[in-house]
Amino acid sequence: MKNYEFITLEGIEGVGKSTAIQVVKRILEEKGRDVVITREPGGTAIGEKVRDILLSTQNNEMSPVSELFLLLAARAQHLAEVVSPALASGKCVVCDRFFDATFAYQGAGRGLDISIIKSATDLISPFFIPTLTLLLDAPVEVGFQRIKNRGHTDRFEEQNRVFFERIRASYLNRARLEPKRFCVIDASQSLGEVSNSIELILQDKFDS
């Protein structure tokens, strides 16, 4: 069995990461793994407070640089308090978003210089690279419709279509550049089809 202990899920809003992460958890537990489910921003008491600030529609005037450093502060705490101890104890960590989201959202989405994001990210998490990243991909209009159906939007979900088109393109480009780490899943499929895709990927990674 290969060592796929740090798995991340990525994708634009509305692609179903929250549901998919439970599918990943179930499959890994069936394989006898001790699984920790977590998310970014968040995952710790401090991180969840930062998350509230970042997602609140009352903070629409937040600058992209402020957004970046709030995210990185939450990540530093998350790695120290949750991810690092869990991996050190042999647990499998499954995380809803990680540094790929920073390059996609704050880089492609907000337009921050990628070199600045890379330097800051390397400072915070130089040794934490996911062994597997599941990219849930769907057209922006599909994500928008699902967000609309939920009835409540946060500060990110209220961004326009062009913003999310840039993010989606960034994710797909990162997947092309790192095909060994990324697996792209068609998230426009039904929940059952997405679950089957995830199961096939994890079976291949664990049993090959």
Q: Return the pLDDT at 206.
A: 75
Domain ranges of the chain: 6-207
User: Which amino acid makes up residue 156?
Assistant: F
Indicate whether 2 pLDDT > 50.
no
Return the percentage of the chain with pLDDT > 90, whole number. Answer: 84
89, 36 Cβ separation under 8 angstroms: no
Helix intervals (H) in 79-160? 84-88, 99-101, 114-124, 140-150
Confidence of residue 1 (pLDDT cuts 50, 70, 90): very low
Query: Mean per-residue pLDDT for 134-159?
Result: 91
Alpha-carbon span 158 to 141, nearest angstrom: 13
Mean pLDDT over all residues of the chain? 93
- Assign 97 a pLDDT band (cuts: 50, 70, 90): very high
Residue type, 56: S
- Per-residue pLDDT band for 167 (boundaries 50, 70, 90) equals very high
Q: Which CATH architecture has domain 6-207?
A: 3-Layer(aba) Sandwich (3.40)
Q: What is the structure's pLDDT at 141?
A: 94
> How does pLDDT run across 50-73, given as a tens digit for each residue?
999 999 999 999 999 999 999 999
pLDDT digits (tens, 9 = 90+) for 16-43: 999 999 999 999 999 899 999 999 999 9
